[in-house]
Amino acid sequence: MQYSINRRHFLRTSGAVLALPWLESLAGAAEPTPPRRMVSVCTAFGLYGPSLFPSTAGRDYSPSEYLKILAELRGDYTIFSGISHPDIGGDHASEACFLTAAKQPRRPGFRNTVSMDFLAARHVAGATRIPLLSLSTDDAGGLTHSQSGAPIRADWSPSKLYARMFLAGKATEVEAELQRLKNGQSILDRMQDRFDALTPRLSHRDQQQLADYTEAVREMEKQLHAGEQWVHRPKPTVDEPPPQDNPDKSDFIGRSKLMFQLIRLALQTDSTRVCSLFIRGMDLTPPIEGVKENHHGLSHHGRNPAKLAELKLVEQAEMQAFREFLVDLRQTSEGAGSLLDHTQVLIGSNLGDASGHGTTNLPIILAGGGWKHGQHIAGDTKNNTPLCNLFVSMMQRFGMEIDAFGSSSGTMNGLG
Amino acid sequence: MAFPSNLVRMLLIAIAAFVPSPVTAGDAAQSFQTDVLPILQRRCAECHGDDVQEAGIHLAKSHTAEELAAAPHTWFRALDQVAAGNMPPDGEPPLSTAEQATIVGWIEGDLTDSLVARQRRDGRSKFRRLSRAEYLNTFEDLFGYRPNPDPLPADGRVDGYTKVSDALSLSSEGAYGYSQVARELVDRWVLRPTPKLDNTITRAEAMESGQSKGHSLVLDDGWIVSFNTDDTSGRLKYGGVRTPGVHKLRMHVYAYQSDEPLLFGVYAGKTLSYPQEIELLDVLEAPAGKPTVVETELYLKERAGIRLIPFGIGVQVPKNSQASECRGPGLAVQWMEVEEPARPIRADQWLTADLPEDLRAAMRNPRVRLGDKGSYRYGSLTEDEFVDLMGTTLTRVGARVLRRDLTAAEMTELLSEVRQGLQQDQPLQQVFLERVTDLLASPEFFCVIESPGELSEFELAARLSYFLWNSTPDEQLLQVARAGKLRDPAVLRAQTDRLLDDPRSDRFVEDFLDQWLDLHAIDDTTPDSQLYPEYDDVLKFSSLQETRATFRRMLRENRSVGEFIAPRQLLVNARLAEHYGVEGVSGAELRPVNVPPGSPFGGLWTQPAILKVTADGSSTSPVKRGVWVSERLLGVPISPPPPNIEPINPDTRGATTLREQLALHSAHRSCSGCHKQFDPFGFALENFDVMGQYREHYRLLDAEVAALPAHRRQGAPLWLSGLAVDGSGVTPEGESFADIVELREHLVRHPEKLAWGVAWHLATYATGAVTDDIDRRAVQAIVDASAEDGYRLRSTLHALVQSELFRWK
């Protein structure tokens, strides 16, 4: 038999180091420090501004119609106004830019850029079974974009995700999983060689794309290799029964609630530390008492009072779902505090005034993560604060050494 | 705007044709300095000079060759403004004819020459992977089935197109997806033990609805009638698809309680899950009263169940009510026959075609190795003979998979791996199938790779087939390339015609129109059911068919591009005839009828599918539709609005029209300069509502009626007639029009603009690089070539294929 040192072999022996989950590695230590986590949530059709934004800034703001729903969490979140990604435009296409801040997604030559959650996940790579939980309420993609701006597929089936995180497979299934990982590595290994062989053949204009593709293959080889290590580790067990997928496409709020429960479980068991959830907008009528028109149609309310009334019913239900999620995190104790204390939760939308596809004055809430909350940080509604300033602050708190991201001009003023 | 003096341009083309030495960016910078800069300093510096840079544009300064090459767009914007006489602005003396000619001449001459020269050297299109549609079609054409698309990398859009490098990023899981698809092929479909299929025709009897007793009507002889457009209808006693591929379906059906034929949909998917996940695959017609066998051919996925559901008649038998009391039309079904594709599937037959029958049978066992000692051995061939057989197979298969002949070095490598496998005593099946997955893991399979300069024969073959079939070249096209004949203009033309005349060109029509005309967005919004109760799925489905059929007919019959906006005929079925106000058409089949005299309708731009994708569900925007006409139909890109402009929020309460709100917005000088270039088209289209119905007044929700419970409305509409629509305007060229009919008369006098528009977009789709300013000269040459026979669609496409734009990287 011939032996040659191929890339896979190298990966295996060069020892891509895997950290243990913090619970395991710190078991026995007196006061284990819980890890930092980050959750980003985007709801596609905005939240009606006049019902969301408080009329005054600072700590003494009086809660708006929607914020009354979060009343019991007042000290656990900050509401922002006058904040957005500069020069985004692009109508609904701005969804893809919520966590990336890439400009003008509809312009010819547009290329997306890396998303905040991808960078955060890379920062803690290897620490958990699942490097990044990118989720969506349906099967058409999420918020995450790789280093080269490629969209990362989002999980949307709670039952499959639960099985992946918590259900131990039979021995044959584990074996099949291992075989699957090995097969994948062998084909990707070949792919990598072929990409490398292309380098001298392609023109200099083609080299960037080639490098991006090659990087994607290399990244996957690493992931498969790491996956092999995790296959043998026992999965955490949880008391919660497996969820049933919600078959009703129009019930995006019901679907997002299932995802919120899973996110809490995933964080609590340290199965992952970075999650993002895209709550996709639907041209369907959600099953909410009193709502007759489809959600997309309602978001284009054209200031019609009847439509606004229905839109508010939908958005109030969304706010309720956010409240339940945050309360759930706060009720889960961890270390000396709660899971919420160690989890930064960003909730917002890519659209401001959705009726005219506005991408300025976005609704943005940041909860948890140990920040001093309880205020309304009001930016200039004509000249918005870059949302990326908040992203930089969040990433710094996540432990990353970073001082610029996307269109940032610094960190978020007023956030302590 | 983009169409200044043709004479200057023709002269320049003539000159360019006789001057082979390339103009460099240095030459362009030189002529700028000596000829153009003095004029700019004299006439433009006040607003675009060192002190002031309006709109951020700094013209009047020296530019290095690098600066010129880096930002060509600025100069083409300047060209458009100068040629249209917009600059210098009103109140300033205009440029003299000589000054204008110098500026225009330099941009269209030296600057364009230098940019084109650079493009020829580096290539215009960029390395990319196949789009999802391209990959799936390619895979199907080679292997006979469509893999599950979910693991494949997701496509973005650039200028609406999914074929462009920048839209086609590759994520790590996307790369893994390719490996999964390759594994699935060899693990499940090739050299498996052949299943015994006792008959390939299955008859499925109709079944009662599972909803509740009496929910569907049971007649004698197993006839079942369904009355609902929902998934309670059309159950069949069918076990699901066993082999993915194209199936023949024969359905015994008729329209019950109806004098008219009834449309029904063939839905397939998970019919046993709750709720069912089924998708519409086809719409067919059941004749009135008389049992008839209706046939169709459809691609069906493995395990798919089927439902036959009346199309677009609503729910006539709600839950817990009796079908026997329904007096409306219903779909009567007795049985459906499903004829399956042959098995083993094409992938197996094709990959193993060179193997002797007994070897193929032996290799179906995954344990069989070469040699004759011990069990599970195949001893009829020596190692050399087996390697030779693999050589024949991999030469043949490799050329189709990689779309070119494999090099001797590549064959040597593949065969040495075969030999190595044999020497390690690996099973024959593994030795062979690993080489197949190797081929599928090659970027040359799932990417488009071209070298700078004129495309090679094989590269050109691939470009042609991905253009006109959205898929890989067939054996015949590769054979022409192999013979080195495809670059011969006459042969290229003949192959273009052959591909266009093949049914696979339907993929081009659908994929191109989805991207060019934004039809991919057809389901993004639903017209407000209270304001537009007339809208239904039959109209949506028919209108998509109409738009595609219109284009297909123009392509097949080589009709003038003028028909994009002013045809003599409409293609209608009963539903579209109702929409257009044409009498005497029944049935689902599209047929040509003359446009009624004085009708506002005619052409793509007034088709319901287009008017739907350019509106949201409740209101229309002249801006959005105006931009659509300019960019999509006329091929004149509109720059996005400056950053941080407040969007106009439609106010649908009825006190003002969006047009009036827009007038305030556009009154600002810096806005109006652009808006007057495209808003007028949108003004004329304001006479069509969100589903393309003609209107003279906007509709307004009647809050009083809407507040009543349904049974007390007594059929009163939920809307009131609101403000009158103003469909008048002034074209960018300054011709005023009262309405769409007059605007159509203006535009139809300029078929060259429509030819420009379609050539511009075909070029993006065909080459995988977004057409831009640098390509103006090339697009103009295509338009000029198509002028010879009156700007016909197929001729324009031929001119594109023959052009350097298409034939060079």
Mark yes or no for CB contact B437/A109 under 8 Å. Answer: no
Contacts of B370 (CB under 8 A, 6+ apart): B377, B378, B379, B381, B383, B386, B422, B425, B428
- pLDDT mean over B311-327: 88
Closest CA relative to residue B2, chosen from B796, B678, B793, B756: B756
Does B441 contact A96 at a Cβ distance shorter than 8 Å?
no
> Mean pLDDT for chain B?
90
Q: Is the pLDDT score of B23 beyond 90?
A: no
The 3-state DSSP class for residue B50 equals coil
- Judged by a CB distance cut-off of 8 A, whether residue A8 touches chain B is no
Which parts of A251-334 fold into alpha helices (H)?
252-268, 295-299, 305-331
What CA–CA distance (Å, rounded) separates A314 from A290?
9
Identify all chain B residues contacting A159, using CB atoms and an 8 Å cutoff. Answer: none
The Cα B84–Cα B335 span in angstroms is 66
Q: Which residues of B touch A300 (CB under 8 A)?
A: 616-619, 650
Q: What local confidence, expressed as pLDDT, does residue A176 receive?
A: 87
pLDDT at residue number B148: 92
Chain A residues touching B443 at Cβ < 8 A: 191, 194-195, 198, 213
**Tokens 């009720």 identify what position?**
A331
Given an 8 Å threshold on Cβ–Cβ distance, is A191 in contact with B159? no
Q: How far apart are CA B796 and CA B558, in angstroms?
A: 9
- Is the CB of residue B654 less than 8 Å away from at least one CB of chain A? no
Task: Compute how many other C-beta atoms are within 10 angstroms of the C-beta atom of residue A82.
Answer: 19
pLDDT confidence tier of residue B648, bands split at 50, 70 and 90: low
User: Judged by CB atoms within 8 Å, which residues 625-644 of B form the interface with A?
Assistant: 637, 640-641, 643-644
pLDDT of A29 strictly over 60:
no
> Which chain A residue's Cα is nearest to B653?
A304
Answer whether A216 touches B (CB < 8 Å): yes
3-state secondary structure of B736: strand
Rounded to an integer, the average pLDDT of A389-394 is: 97
Residue B724 phi/psi, 5° resolution? -75, 150
Q: pLDDT of B98-107, one tens digit each?
A: 988 999 999 9
Residues 689 through 708 of chain B touching chain A, CB cutoff 8 Å: 701, 703, 706
Per-residue pLDDT band at B93 (split at 50, 70, 90): confident
Please, are residues B436 and B393 in contact by the beta-carbon 8 Å criterion? no
Structure tokens that stand for A319 in this block: 């706010």
Give the residue, B184 or B645, on which the prediction is more confident: B184
* Structural contact between residues A152 and A144, judged by C-beta atoms closer than 8 angstroms: yes
Residues 6+ apart with CB under 8 A from B234: B206, B226, B264, B267, B307, B308, B309, B310, B331, B333
Q: What is the pLDDT of residues A74-124, one digit of tens each?
A: 999 999 999 999 988 878 889 999 999 999 887 777 889 999 999 999 999
Put simply, the answer to whether A303 touches B652 (Cβ < 8 Å) is yes
Measured between CA atoms, how close is A340 to chain B, in angstroms? 31
CB atoms within 10 A of CB A287: 12
- Sequence-distant (≥ 6) Cβ neighbours of residue B645 within 8 angstroms: none
At A121 the pLDDT is: 95
Measured distance CA(B393)–CA(B400) in Å, rounded: 11
Find the mean pLDDT for residues B103-132. 92
pLDDT confidence band for B29 (50 / 70 / 90): confident
What whole-number distance in Å separates Cα of residue A43 and Cα of residue B615?
Answer: 22
Predicted local distance difference test score (pLDDT) of residue B782: 97
| Residue given tokens 């939908």 in the structure block | A314
Residue B200 Cα, gap to closest chain A Cα (Å)? 33
Q: Which of B535, B522, B513, B719 is nearest to B633 (CA)?
A: B513
Other CB atoms within a 10 A radius of the CB of residue B319 amount to: 11
Q: Which two tokens stand for residue B708?
A: 């009543």
Read off the pLDDT band of B666 (50, 70, 90).
low
Look at B582 and B647; give whichever has higher pLDDT: B582
- Token pair of A103, please? 């400009």
Question: What per-residue confidence (pLDDT) applies to A104?
Answer: 86
- Strands (E) across B200-300 are located at 201-207, 217-218, 224-226, 235-236, 245-256, 262-270, 277-286, 292-300
Torsion from C-alpha of A298, A300, A303, A307, nearest 10 degrees = -10
Output the six-digit token pair for B110: 């030296």
| Residue B672 scores a pLDDT above 80 | no
Question: Residue B665: what pLDDT?
Answer: 66
Rounded to 5°, angle at Cα B84 from B82 and B86: 65
**pLDDT-derived band of residue B528, with 50, 70 and 90 as boundaries?**
confident
CB contact, 8 Å: A112 with chain B? yes
Q: Decide if B785 contacts B804 (C-beta within 8 A).
A: no
A32 to chain B, minimum CA–CA distance in Å?
A: 34
Show the tokens assigned to B274: 């709750």
Distance CA A313, CA B124 (A): 51
What's the rounded Cα separation, in Å, for the pair B169 and B158?
12
The whole-number pLDDT of residue B647 equals 63
In angstroms, what separates the C-alpha of B256 from chain A's closest C-alpha?
Answer: 31
Cα–Cα distance for residue pair B532/B528, rounded to 1 Å? 6
**Given CB atoms, is B653 within the 8 Å cutoff of chain A?**
yes
Q: How confident is the model at residue B363, as a pLDDT?
A: 96
Could you tell me if B365 and B429 are in contact, meaning their C-beta atoms sit under 8 angstroms apart?
yes
Per-residue pLDDT band for B16 (boundaries 50, 70, 90) equals very low
pLDDT confidence of residue B456 = 97
Q: Does residue B25 carry a pLDDT above 70?
A: yes
Mean pLDDT of A338-345: 97
The answer to whether residue B646 scores a pLDDT higher than 70 is no
Q: What's the CA angle centered on A54, arms A49 and A60, to 5 degrees?
A: 165
The residues in A 174-213 lying below 8 A from B, measured between CB atoms, are 180, 183-184, 187-188, 190-191, 194-195, 198, 201-206, 209-210, 212-213
Residue A126 pLDDT more than 80?
yes
Structure tokens at B729: 């305007």
CB contact under 8 A, B166 and A110: yes
Q: Which of A346, A394, A337 is nearest to A123 (CA)?
A: A394
Residue B20 has pLDDT above 60, yes or no: no
Query: For residue A51, what are its two tokens?
Result: 């019902």
Query: Using CB atoms within 10 A of its CB, is residue B313 exposed (0-12), middle (13-18) or buried (19+)?
Result: buried
Contacts of B169 in chain A (CB under 8 A): 111-112, 146, 148-151, 212
Asked if A82 and A75 count as a contact pair (C-beta separation under 8 A), the reply is no
Q: Does B649 touch chain A (CB under 8 A)?
A: yes
Q: Which of B169, B449, B702 to mutate to test the interface with A (most CBs of A within 10 A)?
A: B169
Decide if A303 touches B, using CB distance below 8 A. yes
**Does A200 or A276 have the greater pLDDT score?**
A276
Q: A265: closest CA among A174, A84, A120, A130? A: A130
Q: With the CA atoms of B781, B782, B784 and B789 taken in that order, what torsion angle do they form, in degrees rounded to the nearest 10?
A: 160
Return the exposure string of A259-280: e unless at least 16 CB atoms fall within 10 Å of the residue's CB, then b: bbbbbbbbbbbbbbbbbbbbbb
Flag whether residue B773 sits within 8 Å of chain A, measured between CB atoms.
no
Q: What is the rounded CA–CA span in Å between residue B625 and residue B178?
A: 39
Give chain A's mean pLDDT.
Answer: 89
B408-423 vs B428-440: helix axis angle to the nearest 10?
150
Q: Do the strands B305-310 and B330-339 form a parallel or antiparallel pair, or are they unpaired?
A: unpaired
CA distance B685 to B239: 50
Q: Does A151 touch chain B (CB under 8 A)?
A: yes
pLDDT band for position B797 (cuts 50, 70, 90): very high
Partner-chain contact A184 B173, CB within 8 Å: no
Give the mean pLDDT of B491-511.
Answer: 98
A4 confidence band (pLDDT: 50, 70, 90): very low
Report pLDDT digits (tens) over A242-288.
999 998 888 999 999 999 999 999 999 999 999 999 999 888 889 99
Q: Please state the pTM of the whole predicted model.
A: 0.88
Looking at residue B80, its amino acid is: D
In Å, the largest CA–CA distance within chain B is 99
Task: Report whether pLDDT(A163) > 50.
Answer: yes
Grade residue A63 by pLDDT with cuts at 50, 70 and 90: very high
A296–chain B Cβ distance below 8 A for any pair? yes
pLDDT value, residue A404:
95
What does the pLDDT read at residue B649? Answer: 67
Q: What is the pLDDT of residues B705-747, one digit of tens each?
A: 888 887 788 778 889 999 999 999 999 889 999 999 999 999 9
Verify whether the Cβ–Cβ distance A104 to B640 is below 8 Å: yes
Least confident of A179-183, B568-572, B664-668: B664-668
Mean pLDDT of B497-501: 98
CB atoms within 10 A of CB A195: 22
Contact B263, B590 (CB under 8 A): no
Looking at residue B645, its pLDDT comes to 64
Helices (H), B107-131: 112-122
Interface-testing mutation among A185, A209, A225, A280, with chain B (most B C-beta atoms within 10 A):
A209
For B749, residues 6+ apart whose C-beta sits below 8 A from its C-beta are none
Residue A343 β-bridge partners: A37
Q: Which residue has the tokens 């479980």?
A: A265
Of B122, B182, B529, the CB nearest to A203: B122
| Nearest Cα residue to B308 out of B331, B290, B339 | B331
**Coil vs helix vs strand at B795:** helix
Min distance B551 CA to chain A CA atoms (Å) = 25
Calculate helix-pair angle for B776-787, B112-122, nearest 10 degrees. Answer: 100
Q: In what helix (H) or strand (E) does residue B672 lie, and over which residues does it extend?
A: helix B669-685
Inter-chain CB proximity B123 and A112 less than 8 Å: no
Q: Which helix (H) or strand (E) holds B46?
A: helix B45-48
* Cα of B402 to nearest chain A Cα, Å: 12
Binary contact (B528, A293; C-beta < 8 A): yes
For CA atoms B317, B321, B324, B325, give the dihedral sign: negative
The three-class DSSP label of residue A368 is strand
Q: Is the minimum CB–CB distance between B451 and chain A shorter than 8 Å?
A: yes
Nearest CA distance, B417 vs chain A (angstrom): 11
Nearest to B131 by CA among B173, B166, B163: B163
Instruction: Round to whole Å and give the CA distance between B516 and B159.
Output: 9
Indicate the DSSP class of residue B48. H
Question: What is the spatial distance between Cα A94 and Cα A362, in angstroms, rounded to a whole number?
Answer: 12
Instruction: Provide the pLDDT for residue B544.
Output: 96
The sign one gets for the Cα dihedral B190, B192, B196, B201 is negative
